[in-house]
């Protein structure tokens, strides 16, 4: 109970400090709100685009709200110039982009857009532990190389200059995986409709067959594969405006387990099944009004998902999940964010195969990375206060417009998380189901090009545990 009191006190102090900053005198009303600037109209004579060698000009122009031949108020032009840069950066196509106006004469001007393109084609050697995160791999398996997958990932972004992506993964080692995926988000002339095609085949000699003591329990067979999966899928996307996207995906899946897994958990798939064939239909709505999607510091987001998996008694689940976040710059270089995630699976009686919840993907508490919590309903809230403390630029010595200088940003942060996971079935000994979970801590985030982010976090949790946790993300 004393940990709960400490956590509440931590959050109270945290929120009081934030409210104090928010209560400070705001800057003067920005120039975009000036009545004269609102009423004065200017025509856009032309939009000049430079720096693009692969990306089509109309793909870049699509992200710029200011269009050739149209008239806008001066305040609208001044507001849309930084918005255009954010749109371009959030495509994931560019290391940097600048947008400005020039040649202002009488009642017209030109817009200039200059971009620095990324490298789009990567034959990437693949080496990755199979565990959920580095902490589990190091702490529980002593960083064993036997628990590593290796191979080659052929990543081709912006294949045709239209922000389309082709992925070919050939992975072996601890498991085998072949992945073919193609996504074309700007498939038609309107640049609103997109398609995707997907194929996956995987085999694994180890499988998490149950959760006990709030940790995944695995069965491994060095001589044969204990599970395999085959998936064919296709998708359709529709983009409205600059920040709203609709995505629909349909796939057919075949998943099998062997007798060893079945004997250890006959309810892995439910209904005494060792193999399931099922269709899966999902719909996603994204509304991202963020300055930088991989690491936002200003703006808000909505991400809503509906999924139907299976249509027979052997496998049947309706899943509803969502994410909402708000990000504030409360003072120059000081930021505060609140992120909430939730998930519900119906009906509540689900086999183990459908009960993964807390500890997977984004649905985890900082400080509880070593644990998982199965469930059919749950959610969490993450509160973070951060300060940008350093923004160096590393000179590489390369004679490259894009890579002569590599920028970095360092953020110090403090945070607090709280969550809950409900499970109707709790096989094994699991103490974290059906109760309030909470954690907190402080850390350092390091941001660089290609959406590369390193999270170094020293966290504590309600179990009285504390320690250093490492996470890393790379945007290709």
> pLDDT category, 33, cuts 50, 70, 90?
low
pLDDT at 313: 78
Closest CA to 89 of 56, 113, 121, 66: 113
* Other beta carbons within 10 Å of 134: 16
Residue with the larger pLDDT of the pair 459 and 122? 459
Q: Give me the mean pLDDT over the 165-179 stretch.
A: 88
Q: What is the spatial distance between Cα 44 and Cα 18, in angstroms, rounded to a whole number? A: 42
pLDDT at 366: 96
> pLDDT category, 246, cuts 50, 70, 90?
very high
Q: What is the spatial distance between Cα 315 and Cα 268, in angstroms, rounded to a whole number? A: 11
Cβ proximity of 74 and 37 under 8 Å:
yes
Strand partners, 381: 340, 418
Q: Is the pLDDT reported for residue 29 higher than 70?
A: no
DSSP codes joined into one string, 21-44: HHHSPPPPPPGGG-HHHHH-EEEE
Q: Is the pLDDT reported for residue 16 higher than 80?
A: no
> pLDDT category, 20, cuts 50, 70, 90?
very low
Cβ proximity of 40 and 74 under 8 Å:
yes
Q: What is the spatial distance between Cα 233 and Cα 142, in angstroms, rounded to a whole number? A: 37
Q: Is the pLDDT reported for residue 444 higher than 70?
A: yes
pLDDT at 401: 83
Q: Is the pLDDT reported for residue 389 higher than 90?
A: yes
User: Which residues 6+ apart lie within 8 Å of 191 measured at CB?
Assistant: 58, 59, 62, 239
Domains and CATH numbers, the chain: 34-116 (3.10.20.310), 121-473 (2.40.160.50)
Q: Pinpoint the alpha helices (H) of 127-258.
A: 134-141
pLDDT tens, position by position, 280-308: 999 999 999 999 999 999 999 999 999 99
Strand partners, 377: 344, 422
Strongest mean pLDDT among 203-212, 337-346, 429-438: 337-346
pLDDT at 38: 75
Q: Give me the mean pLDDT over the 461-476 stretch.
A: 87
Q: Give me the mean pLDDT over the 168-193 stretch.
A: 90
- Which pair of tokens denotes residue 37? 């600037």
Question: What is the end-to-end Cα distance of the chain in Å, rounded?
Answer: 44
Distances (CA, A) of 380 to 3, 155, 244, 350, 363: 18, 33, 24, 21, 7
> pLDDT category, 398, cuts 50, 70, 90?
confident
pLDDT tens, position by position, 306-321: 999 998 877 899 999 9
- The CA dihedral of 176, 180, 183, 188, to the nearest 10 degrees, is -170
Closest CA to 235 of 200, 189, 197: 197
CA 141 vs. chain centroid, Å, equals 27
pLDDT at 299: 96
Three-state secondary structure call for residue 452: coil
Q: Is the pLDDT reported for residue 475 higher than 90?
A: no
Mean of per-residue pLDDT scores for the chain:
89
> pLDDT category, 15, cuts 50, 70, 90?
low
pLDDT at 31: 53
pLDDT at 151: 86
Q: Give me the mean pLDDT over the 47-72 stretch.
A: 96
pLDDT at 9: 44
Q: What percent of the chain has pLDDT over 70?
A: 90
pLDDT tens, position by position, 356-386: 999 998 899 999 999 999 999 999 999 999 9
Is the model's pTM score more than 0.95?
no
pLDDT at 23: 44
pLDDT at 13: 47
User: Which residues 6+ apart lie within 8 Å of 65 measured at CB?
Assistant: 80, 83, 84, 87, 242
pLDDT tens, position by position, 228-240: 999 999 999 999 8
β-pair type (466-473, 409-422): unpaired
How buried is residue 416: exposed, middle or buried, by Cβ count under 10 Å (0-12/13-18/19+)? buried
Residue with the larger pLDDT of the pair 38 and 289? 289
pLDDT at 129: 76
Q: Is the pLDDT reported for residue 404 higher than 60?
A: yes
């Amino acid at each position: 109970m004393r940990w709960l009191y400490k956590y509440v006190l931590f959050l109270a102090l945290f929120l009081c400090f934030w409210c104090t900053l928010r209560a400070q005198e705001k800057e003067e009303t920005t120039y975009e709100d000036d009545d004269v600037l609102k009423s004065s109209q200017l025509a856009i004579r032309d939009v000049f685009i430079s720096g693009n060698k692969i990306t089509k000009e109309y793909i870049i122009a699509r992200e710029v709200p200011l269009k050739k031949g149209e008239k806008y108020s001066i305040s609208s032009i001044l507001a849309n110039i930084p918005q255009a840069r954010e749109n371009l950066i959030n495509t994931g196509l560019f290391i940097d982009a600048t947008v400005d106006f020039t040649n202002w004469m009488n009642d017209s001007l030109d817009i200039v857009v200059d971009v620095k393109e990324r490298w789009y084609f990567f034959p990437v050697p693949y080496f990755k532990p199979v565990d959920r995160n580095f902490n589990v791999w190091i702490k529980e398996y002593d960083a064993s190389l036997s628990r590593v997958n290796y191979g080659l990932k052929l990543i081709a972004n912006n294949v045709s200059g239209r922000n389309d992506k082709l992925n070919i993964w050939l992975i072996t080692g601890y498991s085998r995986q072949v992945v073919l995926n193609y996504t074309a988000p700007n498939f038609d002339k309107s640049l609103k409709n997109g398609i995707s095609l997907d194929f996956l085949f995987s085999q694994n000699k180890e499988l998490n067959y149950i959760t006990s003591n709030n940790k995944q329990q695995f069965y491994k067979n060095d001589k044969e594969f204990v599970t395999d999966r085959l998936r064919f899928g296709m998708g359709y996307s529709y983009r409205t405006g600059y920040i709203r996207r609709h995505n629909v995906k349909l796939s057919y899946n075949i998943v099998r387990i062997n007798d060893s897994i079945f004997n250890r958990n006959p309810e892995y798939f439910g209904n005494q099944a060792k193999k399931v064939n099922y269709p899966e239909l999902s719909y996603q709505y994204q509304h991202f009004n963020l300055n930088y999607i991989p690491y936002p510091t200003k703006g808000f987001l909505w991400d809503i998902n509906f999924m139907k998996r299976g249509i027979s008694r052997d496998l049947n689940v309706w899943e509803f999940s969502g994410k909402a976040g708000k990000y504030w710059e409360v003072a120059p270089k000081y930021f505060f964010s609140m992120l909430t995630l939730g998930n519900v699976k119906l009906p509540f009686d689900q086999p183990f195969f459908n009960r993964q919840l807390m500890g997977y993907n984004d649905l985890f508490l900082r400080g509880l990375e070593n644990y998982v919590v199965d469930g059919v309903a749950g959610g969490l809230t993450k509160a973070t206060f951060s300060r940008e403390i350093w923004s160096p630029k590393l000179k590489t010595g390369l004679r490259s417009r894009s890579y002569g200088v590599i920028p970095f940003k360092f953020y110090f942060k403090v945070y607090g998380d709280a969550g809950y996971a409900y499970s109707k079935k709790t096989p094994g000994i699991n103490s974290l189901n059906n109760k309030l979970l909470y954690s907190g801590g402080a850390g350092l985030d390091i941001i660089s090009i290609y959406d590369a982010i390193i999270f170094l976090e020293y966290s504590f949790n309600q179990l009285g545990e504390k320690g250093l946790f490492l996470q890393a993300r790379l945007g290709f």
